[in-house]
């Protein structure tokens, strides 16, 4: 029902007093999303409100008043370029983007202009384009700050499912176009009983080394090579309460420059692991090292004790066009595509 003199919708910025209403709204609005889990006020507070990338002015809420009742009916959450902060200092200039992580209006309140008002308020606060929607560079809701699972969506960010034609059409009609197409989620279910892989010649000849790491034994980038772009896990060093595990591929000897890595974290779904990072320097490809890394990771996920292992299924996000070699490796291991994701940009 459209707004009337006795019913109106107001937009305003988030305040701490809104937290309980926001969490209740969130758990109603997103309960049908992939990988959703019920959110608590405490989790939202430490993951979002206390995140160094959070600015309360970017979290815009739509409140509908009818008679004596006021309720939350929609929200938008936008982020300006990330601030200078130790958590983000190694992420590079690619993370200095204007992003829109969330835009949602309750179905019964749509077609009243609330979504358009929320989007305009978010864009006005961001000041200028380009604005990226549902991309990887989302603070608070993804894994930029640590080995965290998003609250829903893929294993790495809050994505827009390719099935969500309502939101895609809405944004398309307001100037947004596809960005970086080809993001997919893949699943290996069941993981089964993978065998221990045979190391390739580059490992047995000791021309490169594998260094195991975890939240209990972090991979520390040696000071001599901290300039190196592959240094990725330094901002995870003190997150001992957030489990993760993996291997770094380094040159033999000390300090050992990183040539590749693979890492995984437990998902909220019991018995599931998320493969969150898998990278190999181009010069090391073609030696069987990439296949060995993946097979070793799957072996440990199945056979090691928790939280490094003890899993029965694995999920990974990759890109169909940008990472064809990784995609082929996943497919040979039995992974199948489970979801396709859409990212958008307004330039």
Residues 43 and 75 in one domain: yes
- Give the count of domains, the chain: 2
Residues 27 and 58 in one domain: yes
Angle of CA points 29, 34, 39, to nearest 5°: 50
> Does the bond joining 307 to the residue before it have cis omega, within 30 degrees of 0?
yes
d(CA 177, CA 68): 41
Residues 217 and 163 in one domain: no
Burial of 64 (0-12, 13-18, 19+ CB in 10 A): buried
Residues 217 and 305 in one domain: yes
Residues 97 and 153 in one domain: yes
Helix (H) or strand (E) holding 326: helix 324-333
Residues 15 and 161 in one domain: yes
Residues 27 and 176 in one domain: yes
* SS3 at position 166: helix
Residues 42 and 149 in one domain: yes
Is residue 293 in a domain? yes
Residues 109 and 253 in one domain: no
Is residue 322 in a domain? no
Is residue 297 in a domain? yes
- Phi/psi for 137 (5° steps) reads -90, 55
Strand order from edge to edge, sheet including 69-79: 7-13, 59-66, 69-79, 98-105, 131-133, 344-346, 177-178
d(CA 129, CA 347): 5
Is residue 194 in a domain? no
Is residue 216 in a domain? yes
CATH number of the domain at 144, please.
Answer: 3.40.630.30
CATH number of the domain at 229, please.
Answer: 3.40.630
Structural domain boundaries enclosing 165:
7-181
Tens-digit pLDDT string for the chain (347 aa): 456 555 799 999 999 999 999 999 999 999 999 999 999 999 999 999 999 999 999 999 999 999 999 999 999 999 999 888 877 776 655 467 899 999 999 999 999 999 999 999 999 999 877 999 998 878 999 888 888 889 999 998 888 999 999 999 999 999 999 998 999 999 999 999 999 999 999 898 888 899 999 998 887 776 655 544 444 555 566 566 789 999 988 888 766 778 889 999 999 999 999 999 898 887 777 789 999 999 999 999 999 999 999 999 999 999 999 999 999 999 999 999 999 999 999 98
- Residue that is last in its domain, among 181, 213, 241: 181
In this structure, the number of other CB atoms found within 10 A of the CB of residue 154 comes to 25
Is residue 88 in a domain? yes
Residues 207 and 238 in one domain: yes
Per-residue model confidence (pLDDT) at position 230? 47
Q: Which of 72, 14, 73 is nearest to 48 (CA)?
A: 14
DSSP string of 46-71, one letter each residue: IIIITSTT--GGGEEEEEEEETTEEE
Residues 87 and 218 in one domain: no
Phi-psi region of 43 (alpha: psi -120 to 50; beta: other; left: phi over 0): alpha
Per-residue model confidence (pLDDT) at position 128? 78
Exposure string (b/e) for 123-153, b if CB count within 10 Å is 16 or more?
bebbeeeebbbbbbbbbbbbbbbbbbbbbbb
Q: Are 306 and 267 in contact (CB under 8 A)?
A: no
Question: Which residues on neighbouring strands pair with residue 158, listed in sequence order?
Answer: none
Q: Are 199 and 292 in contact (CB under 8 A)?
A: yes
Per-residue model confidence (pLDDT) at position 91? 65
Is residue 112 in a domain? yes
Residues 229 and 277 in one domain: yes
pTM: 0.90
Is residue 189 in a domain? no
């Amino acid at each position: 029902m459209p707004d009337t003199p006795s019913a109106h919708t107001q937009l305003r910025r988030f305040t701490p007093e809104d937290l309980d209403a926001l969490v209740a709204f969130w758990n109603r609005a997103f309960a049908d999303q992939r990988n959703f889990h019920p959110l608590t006020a405490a989790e939202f507070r430490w993951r979002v409100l206390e995140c160094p990338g959070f600015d309360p002015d970017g979290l815009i809420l739509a409140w509908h008043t009818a008679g004596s009742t006021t309720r939350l009916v929609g929200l938008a959450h936008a982020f300006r370029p990330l601030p200078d902060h130790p958590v983000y200092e190694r992420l590079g200039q690619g993370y200095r983007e204007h992003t829109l992580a969330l835009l949602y209006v309750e179905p019964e309140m749509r077609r009243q202009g609330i979504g358009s008002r929320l989007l305009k308020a978010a864009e006005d606060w961001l000041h200028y384009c380009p604005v990226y929607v549902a991309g990887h560079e989302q603070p608070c809701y993804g894994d930029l700050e640590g080995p965290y699972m998003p609250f829903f969506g893929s294993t790495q960010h809050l994505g827009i499912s390719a099935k969500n034609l309502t939101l895609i059409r809405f944004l398309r009609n307001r100037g947004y176009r596809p960005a970086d197409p080809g993001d997919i989620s893949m699943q290996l279910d069941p993981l089964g009983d993978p065998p221990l892989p045979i190391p390739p010649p580059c490992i047995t000849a000791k021309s490169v080394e594998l260094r195991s790491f975890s939240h209990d034994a972090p991979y520390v980038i040696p000071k001599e090579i901290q300039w190196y772009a592959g240094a990725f896990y330094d901002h995870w060093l003190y997150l001992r309460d957030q489990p993760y595990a993996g291997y770094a591929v380094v040159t033999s000897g000390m300090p050992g420059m990183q040539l590749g890595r693979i890492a995984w974290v437990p998902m909220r779904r019991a018995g599931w692991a998320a493969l969150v990072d898998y990278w190999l320097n181009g010069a090391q490809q073609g030696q069987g090292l990439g296949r060995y890394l993946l097979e070793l990771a799957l072996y440990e996920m199945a056979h090691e004790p928790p939280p490094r292992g003890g899993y029965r299924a694995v999920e990974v996000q990759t890109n169909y066009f940008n990472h064809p070699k990784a995609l082929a490796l996943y497919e040979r291991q039995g992974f199948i595509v489970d979801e396709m994701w859409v990212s958008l940009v307004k330039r």
